[in-house]
Structure 1
């Protein structure tokens, strides 16, 4: 990574109890004003953030190993993104691209058409969130194929709208009591090497057999999958799994949708996670890391698919907001200039040996991931029984020591690490060492 300068000191500095008095005060105001349905992973409130640190309203500086769930890959206040946002906001904040267009939307679409996998002709449309992108990708696939069925997978997470809840596998907290869900969604077994022990080809064969027998290829509009499953546990499929699914889709006229909302934009050590497998999706959905923290999402895919939609069939009032597009162009430039894909690979090389050294604790079922999308699966010693309670305790104690980590997994037993790609080696190493100390302390 090219050397960068930071606006804030890149160090952990805890000066109050966590949460501190100002955060406690804000928590009380939150309870009186904000829906209880909006959760929180930590009890602090942010005042500033830069590089790999979050500074809360009480002046505590914490190591950020979450990136706002893979959003602030270039940092939470990258100067180029800040400048692009300020410049665009000073000119105009909104016109609605469906009313009067603007160059930023077109330029960003051109960038994504060139950047995403494959050298075929592509088109792009912008939305506000990953859920919207996924939902619109399904709309496109159904219209273009004239079919209805959509295949999703075990451990999948695709969002919180009605359609994307149907695609999402985990019930609590995402789906519980929110049904009925969108119909014609079918769930198939995914590749989970730690738990199924199957090769990629064998896992794909099992999934395809079920698709053909339970749905029928001629009824399937789309197969949608996260190339590295996110909320389901940062599951990296066995080699060959994605390619076999993609080949089957091509042979049967099915749209292959890669949901790269969490794994895209250099997070896994390549521009997109499918690049590791040499897979070219028909449609790719992106969000999160695309715009340096501004709300933006996209679908990019084959021109014949996206152009099949009638005018007005895609869009939205805020989709491709000019300020968000300006931020995305600046963020993508920063990713390229700083070689953040290479930086993600360096993060993997630094973190994985430290995490794998914890095997002696007896609670590490698996250490996995790609680039700066890494995970530790916590189990009961002596087997592979998930230990969600210990996982929660590890995350809580790491926070108490000044390190923000997130949990995930279908069984609630995975610690996930999503550091900003601009984090320094020293700060990353300290954060991983503290996490390791926590695991050792809680299992000794």
Structure 2
């Protein structure tokens, strides 16, 4: 366990005393951040190699995003959807265009967007496809992570996410991730959607076999089933493309977006699809008081403008190639069992002899680098896309030093 000053210990103790213990944070208390760096309450700096699980793709305190938020704060922050506001139409039009779709249904968090996508698929199945009422089925993959609501954890295979929350919501069938034959066998006349992460983030940055997403696209098109891509973590520049599905030339029927859409400033999420799909909703059938609020729209519009330059996608691709080349050299030396990922996103399986993912994360913390473990033996690397090559190399040097013991 890293050593802590009395001030840090007091802050952590206070947090532990007054908040539910549904997280196990690393023992650091952040006070400020800029770009790819964060500073704790004692003034110590840390290289952020997590980026808020991809919510901070464009860096801490991105000036364009902060200025957009400040300008909107001075005007109007919330109207609810009871009224129109002057940022809403532009936001919906720009995000729809970015995705090559017609319509946007804005929400706040990723889990809300997934819930919305589930409701959308079911309503589409009943209204458009003609599935008998109450029979709609959605096929998902094992090891998925789409959020933590009751419905979403009903189709999770992670015991920590699922245990003790039953009874569970029916209507889902789980198949192995990357197995196209199993997916094909699961799709029947009652299937309304296939919901997948193009890269499974929480599972350890699992990249499916080449051709899998293209196969899913063909299958769903042939069977009149919606392909819903959860791009909440994988999308918006992280993998070197605007959307991770682009690596296989695939366009899903429905994009589910979140995290980086709010630039790390405000929570923004959205379901984006054709008018045939999202057009099934009528007033009063779904909603959110804060979904599509003026502040969220202002920030998200600036995110979209940033993405349209292509700068961050290019940085993620170039630095990602360097990252994976360097990480690949660690495999086979006894400390790292496997490395996976795409762009500036990697999962690293730590050999048991070195320690758990948590222990490696704590050792990196002592050396000024912030990462996070998942599923025991894996650590994830996902820096803000603004990171410099020099800073990335310094972070990799610290990883090598930790793995060398």
Q: How many residues align?
A: 395
Q: Deviations over 1:142-177 (max 9, x none)?
A: 0111241111101100001111112332121x2221
Distance 2:322 2:105 in 1: 37
2:113 to 133, 152, 159: 133
Q: How does 1:263-412 map to 2 (within 5 A)?
A: 263-293=234-264, 294-337=266-309, 339-380=311-352, 389-408=355-374, 411-412=375-376
Distance 1:262 1:18 in 2: 32
What is the aligned partner in structure 1 of residue 163 from structure 2?
176
Change (3 A) 1:365 1:61: same
Would the aligned equivalents of 1:355 and 1:436 in 2 still touch at CA under 8 Å? no
What is the aligned partner in structure 2 of residue 92 from structure 1?
76
What is the aligned partner in structure 1 of residue 183 from structure 2?
207
Q: How does 1:187-266 map to 2 (within 5 A)?
A: 187-191=174-178, 203-209=179-185, 211-212=186-187, 217-266=188-237
Q: TM-score, normalised on structure 1?
A: 0.86
Distance 2:144 2:9 in 1: 35
Q: Deviations over 1:198-247 (max 9, x none)?
A: xxxxx3123322x04xxxx1111111000001101111101111111121
Would the aligned equivalents of 1:155 and 1:233 in 2 still touch at CA under 8 Å? no
2:155 to 154, 167, 177: 167
What is the aligned partner in structure 1 of residue 34 from structure 2?
50
Would the aligned equivalents of 2:198 and 2:245 in 1 still touch at CA under 8 Å? yes
Distance 2:358 2:14 in 1: 25
What is the aligned partner in structure 2 of residue 67 from structure 1?
51
Offset at 1:346? 1.7
Distance 1:94 1:392 in 2: 40
Q: Deviations over 1:331-358 (max 9, x none)?
A: 2323344600000012212211221111
2:140 to 149, 152, 172: 152
Offset at 1:132? 0.5
Q: TM-score, normalised on structure 2?
A: 0.93
Gaps of 5+ in 1: 1-16, 192-202, 382-386
What is the aligned partner in structure 2 of residue 20 from structure 1?
5
Change (3 A) 1:103 1:18: farther
Offset at 1:379? 4.0
Would the aligned equivalents of 1:125 and 1:314 in 2 still touch at CA under 8 Å? no
Q: Deviations over 1:38-91 (max 9, x none)?
A: x13312221111111011111110000000111111112011111111111111
Q: Deviations over 1:352-398 (max 9, x none)?
A: 122111124224222121111111123458xxxxx9x5222211111
Change (3 A) 1:312 1:45: same
2:104 to 120, 124, 128: 124
Displaced runs of 4+ in structure 1, greater than 3 A? 17-21, 335-338
